[in-house]
Structure 1
């Protein structure tokens, strides 16, 4: 029964992860772009360019905020990792029990 629960949780987490892989990639790209915009903002000395980088940064920040539901996919990846660890731990315990009984 425990394996059925792990299988069900793992299957659901895998489906959620696959459904949110696109928004997760978009969030990652937006955060990388925001980082480079910030680095350019810090390096520039012109007030006009600073204002331009602020405006571009705010629009990219809006795109990042729009991708917040992709964090559900990150949580699903973590659940999938935990299910995998528990599944292999249970398999290892069963192997140890079978070798000690033999």
Structure 2
């Protein structure tokens, strides 16, 4: 019971962190996509002036993208939420031993007879 409560509280904190970093996460993704586009254009063009222009644009996009690098915290929060979800949905393990010593003895005796 207490474990579920702690998972719930941790999930709420991770959700708040994820929502707080949602904007920077989007900007980081857009920056990465723009860098990919600029790089592809850079490889295709043959004009030196266009290549210089694309390098300048690429450096500007890198600066914008690196300013949102703390969005990785949001990605980590999303991962924590995923792990909490998996833990929440996991079936509880059956107790191997009970408090009754005779029940434990019977289980161990049955295991020994199987050998």
TM-score range, shorter chain: 0.7 to 0.9
Q: CA RMSD in A?
A: 1.4
- Counterpart of 2:82? 81
> Quick check: which has more Rg, 1 or 2?
2
CA distance in 2, matches of 1:67, 1:93: 40
- Counterpart of 1:44? 45
Bigger RCO of structures 1 and 2 (CA < 8 A, at least 6 apart): 1
Question: Runs of 4 or more off by more than 4 Å in structure 1?
Answer: none
- 1:6-85 matches, cutoff 5 A: 6-85=7-86
Aligned length: 94
1:54 Cα offset (Å): 0.3
Question: Match of 1:93, SS?
Answer: coil
Question: Match of 1:45, SS?
Answer: coil
CA distance in 1, matches of 2:7, 2:92: 16
Q: Could you report, residue by residue, the CA deviation over 1:60-87 in whole angstroms, capped at 9, with x for unpaired residues?
A: 0000100011110000000000000000
Q: Which runs of 5+ in 2 are unaligned?
A: 96-115
- Counterpart of 2:3? 2
Normalising to structure 1: TM-score of the pair? 0.87
Normalising to structure 2: TM-score of the pair? 0.78
1:23 Cα offset (Å): 0.7
